Structure 1
């Protein structure tokens, strides 16, 4: 099985809103919980050789949005799961990092052709908006997790997501 180390960025603006992309690629799904409609996901992607997870998360923010990451990202969540990735079984080893930016204007000109093909839109969300929305988010309980993170701060050790 192919292994894919991935970094995700819980990127908050000065108003504590989370930046998310709305994506749709029916060839990428979790076989344990298949879902083929568009959903909202954080900035992120594969960790390149020689790069650590936090570096990858910051790089992805620059590539995907041109947003600067202020300070050092904090590792707060982790997850491992098998995904069907365009017909291949891939073990995703994900780390999620909490970070801040000082602005909310984005520039998506750095998205590559594949990323542009599955990206339907983007927006900044509050935890309450996510929790109240009928739309799909990754992880599923993102609104609750984000509200807890904002209220209590980062955990002392990364929490495992199911």
Structure 2
């Protein structure tokens, strides 16, 4: 199984709302699945988790950052990619605070354009009440332990 290190972003606006993207898979191995997840993605060979977090932040939100902030969580998980490949991922979660909530999808890949159906800034109570699937599953606990919520 291929190892896929990943930098994930816990992006908070000035009102402590958390940015999540809604993924809806209409084709490929994940057809019919939908869930909410943090921005972020795979670390390129030779790239640090921090550098990947900055790159992913720009690519997925249009916001340029020089520092991803502190790493506040790590998760080891196995999952299926859109093409059906099973990967083992070492996910590192960085806390990023932004001054504005407006985003750009200008730098999204074709895969992101095909799978990301929406975005939402979630309040803690709203996230706690949703019946939707959210990854990581313990995202509220992560932010509570970090004393964000």
TM value normalised by structure 1: 0.81
Which residue of 85, 102, 127 corresponds with 1:130? 127
Give deviations 1:64-91, integer Å, cap 9, x for gaps: 1112447551111111122122222211
* Runs of 4+ in structure 1 over 6 Å off: none
Q: CA 1:47/1:95 → structure 2, altered by over 3 Å: closer, same or farther?
A: same
CA RMSD of aligned residues (A): 2.1
Q: CA 1:103/1:68 → structure 2, altered by over 3 Å: closer, same or farther?
A: farther
Count of residues paired in the alignment: 146
Give deviations 1:13-64, integer Å, cap 9, x for gaps: 11111111000236259xxxxxx53111011001112211011111111011
1:79 aligns with 2:75: yes
Cross-structure match for 1:50: 46
1:65 aligns with 2:61: yes
Cross-structure match for 2:20: 20
